Amino acid sequence: MELFKYTEPVKFMAKSRHFGILSLVLVLLSWGLIFTKGFNYGIDFAGGTLIQIKYDKDAPLKQIREALAKNEAFKGANVTYFGSNQEIVIRTKSSTSSVGNDVGDEVRQLLKNTGNFEVRRVDMVGPKIGGELKEKGLMATILAILGILIYVSVRFEWRFALASVAALVHDVSIAMGAIVLFGIEVNLDTLAAILTILGYSLNDTIIVFDRIREGIRTHKSVNLGEIIDESVTRTLSRTVLTSLTTFFVVLTLYIFGGEIINSFSFTLLVGIVVGTYSSIFIASPILMWLGFDVRGYRAKEAEKLKREKEKEKLRAMYEQGTL
Amino acid sequence: MQRLNYRVVIFAFAFLFGVVFSIPSLTQSESGKKITLGLDLQGGLHMLLGVKTQEAIKSRIKSIAGTIKYILDDNDIVYDDLSIQGDKITFKILDSDDLKKTQELLKKEIEGVTILNSGDEFSISLTPKEIQKTKLMAIDQAVDTIRNRLDQFGLAEPTVAKQGTDKILVEVPGIKTPADEQRIRELIARAAHLQMMAVDEDRAARVYNMSPQEAKKYGDVILPDVKDPNQKYLLKQIPILDGSMLTDAKVGFDRNNQPVINFKLNGEGAKIFGDFSGKSVGKRMAIVLDNKVYSAPVIRERIGGGSGQISGNFTINEANDVAIALRSGALLAPVYVMEKRSVGPSLGADSIKQSTIALVLGFVLVVIFMIIYYGMAGVIADTALIANLFLILAIMSLFGATLTLPGMAGIVLTVGMAVDANVIINERIRELLRSGASVSKAIEEGYKNAFTAIWDANVTTLISAVVLYVYGTGPIKGFALTMSIGILASMLTAILGTHGIYQMLLPKIKKERLNFWFGIKA
């Protein structure tokens, strides 16, 4: 089967301005959302307690809320269904530091008369740890971006590195915007998803850039726009196919993987879509906007080749003892 | 089997290796190295504990005060007002002639303190170095003590480890019920601070009319009875001896068949105990555990041998836990929870079921898609994908790595990404075929051209996975781990392995049947 059979390159660059504006708007909207509405931090970062309870029949939400209200510690506790009507999750901002008697034990006592249930999960994060995790998460993201920037600079050129990081910031911003928009709880696994998007979206971009690098060396034209169009067209099938397979795999995870990893898989789904879009429409134009010069690059490459040849010559002479 | 090449041989070995070493994990057999399931999949308790090191300083000062008392008594130095004021121990000697002797004795017997005196009044405090040392020791000792207690409790493979400089990581897998979990938490948290304290018989009658401040003025404390908190005892603040001199504690039964704890003291403890009881016949001595008075019997005669009994209204489980705690030693400083995650076994089982369904479904989807789109090339890519899965499992089994729920997600994701290499290669091959290259040239060139792209893409993904592994905690580490292994394994299976298969099959691939082999029209 063949879905992508282009004899002529698709004129992506002709439309690049439109996509640039669309992306800019999306990124700005996302930032707006992040700064105005803000993240819905889960207990990993905000601290607090999460208790997951499964009843043997439908959970009596009203009764549960009433029972919880009797205890000062559960004032303002949030009780919601979790996955099914039999399962609920209680979230509170409070946490206890006592090892022996914790919030989970108290909940078991309070809910004694609400039916047959099983406490399946108690997660409690103290305020200090929450702050530490936040710090660590930010640190990890920055380090990952830095590492990628350095690697791409070494393997390609600094403008490629900047363009790929700009595409990354674009993808991560929009993914975060979607997280805020849909009120997805931000926990450690959401952070893992963001870092995965970093790796994944870059993966896509690199494949395209690799083709552009190849095109710059071998293409007859010195027009970067033409080279980009050709390279993006030639990698289009791969970009779309891989994204599709990954998308469907993550979709099964989202649908069947259970409630616990929902926020993780949701974030990834958004990231895959945005990452694919950006590596086709955004990353390469940025390269052009940064003023990448094909002639200059070729000259530099030729220079490098010449120097290496000279070195080899010198070495050969040295080895023969003629130097 | 015309052209057996090194690539396909390596691939076959890798495949075999993967299958053989993942069998123990897949069949859950008794023998062989297996993947450990994370706490989120098998259920269990994960806690990050902090240590209230300030309390360790307090109790260290208290214990020094006890030693001072013993030294002074032992050397017949008459003193008064021995008490603890904040982080200082103060007392006054009544005979100025003892001044020099006292100074020398204290200097010789007690380490890590600053001894100041103005005239006959002494003030003793810990040196900053000693404070630092005590804090560090409190954490190390808490790690050892908690590990000891959990080991004695008889649970399978608990983990107790120091994390960073001031935290303790506790992981206990395989807890069945919340009640069990609570019992384990209580065992961990129990201070198990045993003290023998003298009742202040001179003022004991007034205990119910005395404020804690007033008691403190006399160098006393007021502690409640364990059975009836309304019943109070007035006790000398500085204990006769404490649990550090204990050598053994066992559960026994008293005449009424109630569980009790019999303990034994070491030589020094036995001597102090004997001396004290000899001097205090007719007075009461309280046995205090974690600031509750368990009993306060009247001393009838000198008690030698150094054994004693704690009786309270224990249940058998409680007596058992207290004995374990006493044997493994007191916590120098109390611990508190900074982070706690507990997962019940049924939720873990559900998570395994759900993520396995997702994994299998996603896998089948990808496999079918590849065959439909690429024909035989898809089948070859799928072979590599299957080998990749086995390899991930095998490598994780051999290293005894932990599989977590995000780790399962990592494997699912790897399935999506591992075929990527083959998609890139296949697209390159198709491109070359369309431009009229021969099959063998298309394959060789295709692999060559695709390699840099796959390499760079994989390295960058690895960079973010490694960062995630270093900075992530618990389950997230599992995600980074499975993804890293998956990427590395895919280099072997998807690039080297499939290349070898093509080379082996090359004579069979006819240009007329490109649709069958690569899914494109000739």
The 3-class SS string of B491-517 reads: HHHHHHHHHHHHHHHHHHCCHHHHHHH
Chain A residues lying within 8 Å of B361, measured CB to CB: 252, 256
Same domain, yes or no, for A106 and A169?
no
Q: What pLDDT is recorded for position B164? A: 81
**Domain assignment present for A314:** no
pLDDT at B10 over 60: yes
Q: What pLDDT is recorded for position A84? A: 85
The burial class, CB within 10 Å (0-12 / 13-18 / 19+), for B12 is: middle
> Which range marks the domain in which residue A259 is found?
13-41+130-292
Nearest by CB to B472, from A147, A192, A247: name it: A192
> Which range marks the domain in which residue B163 is found?
44-174+328-343
Same domain, yes or no, for B384 and B511?
yes
Mean pLDDT value of segment B273-292: 87
The enclosing domain of A119 has a CATH number of: 3.30.70.3400
For residue A273, what are the CA distances in angstroms to A54, A166, A201, A278, B19? 35, 17, 9, 9, 35
**Interface probe, candidates B468, B514, B515, chain A, greatest A C-beta count within 10 A:** B468
Mean pLDDT value of segment B499-504: 91
Burial B143-157 (b: 16+ CB within 10 A, else e): bebbbbbbebbebee
**Contact check, Cβ <8 Å, B355/A147:** no
pLDDT at B1 over 50: no
Same domain, yes or no, for B145 and B221?
no
Residue pair A288/A228 in contact by the 8 Å Cβ criterion: yes
**Domain assignment present for B500:** yes
Nearest by CB to B464, from A108, A198, A235: name it: A198
**Domain count across chain A:** 2
Q: Nearest residue on chain A to B483, judged by CA atoms?
A: A196
pLDDT at B183 over 60: yes
The whole-angstrom distance between residue A16's C-alpha and the CA centroid of its chain comes to 23
Q: What is B76-100 written as a DSSP string?
A: T--EEEEEEETTEEEEEES-GGGHH
**Domain assignment present for A312:** no
Q: What pLDDT is recorded for position B474? A: 67
Nearest by CB to A245, from B341, B369, B406: name it: B369
Q: What pLDDT is recorded for position A200? A: 81
Same domain, yes or no, for B338 and B378?
no
Which one is predicted more confidently, B273 or B521?
Answer: B273
pLDDT at B377 over 90: yes
Residue pair B75/B195 in contact by the 8 Å Cβ criterion: no
Chain B residues lying within 8 Å of A238, measured CB to CB: 420, 423-424, 427
The enclosing domain of A247 has a CATH number of: 1.20.1640.10
* Model confidence pLDDT, tens digit, residues B46-58: 999 999 888 888 8
Same domain, yes or no, for A237 and A219?
yes
**Domain assignment present for A181:** yes
The enclosing domain of B404 has a CATH number of: 1.20.1640.10
pLDDT at B136 over 60: yes
Same domain, yes or no, for B396 and B482?
yes
**Domain assignment present for B78:** yes
Q: What pLDDT is recorded for position B522? A: 61
For chain A, say whether B452 makes contact (Cβ under 8 Å): yes
**Interface probe, candidates A125, A202, A246, A259, chain B, greatest B C-beta count within 10 A:** A246
**ipTM for this prediction:** 0.83
Same domain, yes or no, for A101 and A205?
no
Nearest Cα residue to B241 out of B125, B67, B370: B67
* Model confidence pLDDT, tens digit, residues A185-233: 888 888 888 878 887 888 888 899 999 988 888 888 888 888 999 999 9
Same domain, yes or no, for B374 and B267?
no
Q: Nearest residue on chain A to B369, judged by CA atoms?
A: A245
For residue B439, what are the CA distances in angstroms to A237, B388, B427, B429, B510? 21, 26, 14, 8, 8
Nearest by CB to B365, from A144, A202, A248: name it: A248
* Model confidence pLDDT, tens digit, residues B413-458: 787 778 889 999 999 999 899 888 898 899 999 999 899 888 888 8
Q: What pLDDT is recorded for position A10? A: 85
Same domain, yes or no, for A284 and A229?
yes
Query: Distance, in angstroms, between B285 CA and closest chain A CA?
Result: 29
Q: What pLDDT is recorded for position A24? A: 95
Q: Which two tokens stand for residue B183?
A: 């019992």
Q: Rounded to an integer, what distance in angstroms lies between the CA atom of residue B37 and that of residue B25? A: 10
**Domain assignment present for B180:** no
For chain A, say whether B389 makes contact (Cβ under 8 Å): no
Q: What percent of chain B has pLDDT over 90?
A: 17
Residue pair B139/B53 in contact by the 8 Å Cβ criterion: yes
**Domain assignment present for A175:** yes
Q: Rounded to an integer, what distance in angstroms lies between the CA atom of residue A3 and that of residue A200? A: 23
Same domain, yes or no, for A111 and A81?
yes
Q: What percent of chain B has pLDDT over 70?
A: 99
The enclosing domain of B284 has a CATH number of: 3.30.1360.200
In angstroms, how far apart are the furthest CA atoms of chain B?
116
**Contact check, Cβ <8 Å, B416/A101:** no
Instruction: Check residue B199 and report its DSSP letter.
Output: B
pLDDT at B3 over 80: no
Nearest by CB to B366, from A133, A198, A245: name it: A245
Q: Rounded to an integer, what distance in angstroms lies between the CA atom of residue A198 and that of residue B171? A: 31
Residue B17: pLDDT band (50, 70, 90) is very high
**Domain assignment present for A58:** yes
Query: Distance, in angstroms, between B171 CA and closest chain A CA?
Result: 14
Residue pair B45/B342 in contact by the 8 Å Cβ criterion: yes
Chain B residues lying within 8 Å of A105, measured CB to CB: 178, 182
Residue pair B496/B11 in contact by the 8 Å Cβ criterion: yes
Q: Nearest residue on chain B to A43, judged by CA atoms?
A: B339
**Domain assignment present for A7:** no
Same domain, yes or no, for B386 and B505?
yes
Q: Rounded to an integer, what distance in angstroms lies between the CA atom of residue B47 and that of residue B35? A: 22
**Domain assignment present for B187:** no
What is the number of other CB atoms lying within 10 angstroms of the CB of residue B304?
12
Q: Which two tokens stand for residue B486?
A: 């998956």
Name the residue type at position B197.
M
Residue pair B24/B18 in contact by the 8 Å Cβ criterion: no
**Domain count across chain B:** 3
Q: What pLDDT is recorded for position A278? A: 93
Mean pLDDT value of segment B248-259: 86
Question: In what helix (H) or strand (E) does residue A40 lie, and over which residues does it extend?
Answer: strand A40-41
* Model confidence pLDDT, tens digit, residues A73-123: 787 788 888 888 899 999 888 777 777 777 778 888 888 888 888 888 888
Same domain, yes or no, for B409 and B283?
no
**Domain assignment present for A309:** no
**Contact check, Cβ <8 Å, B338/A192:** no
* Model confidence pLDDT, tens digit, residues A285-319: 998 888 888 888 888 888 888 898 888 888 888 88
**Domain assignment present for B217:** yes
Name the residue type at position B59.
S
Chain A residues lying within 8 Å of B475, measured CB to CB: 188-189
Mean pLDDT value of segment A149-155: 88
- Mean pLDDT in chain B? 86
Same domain, yes or no, for A109 and A256?
no
For residue A282, what are the CA distances in angstroms to A174, B42, B251? 13, 44, 73
**Domain assignment present for A322:** no
Nearest Cα residue to B137 out of B318, B321, B333, B284: B333
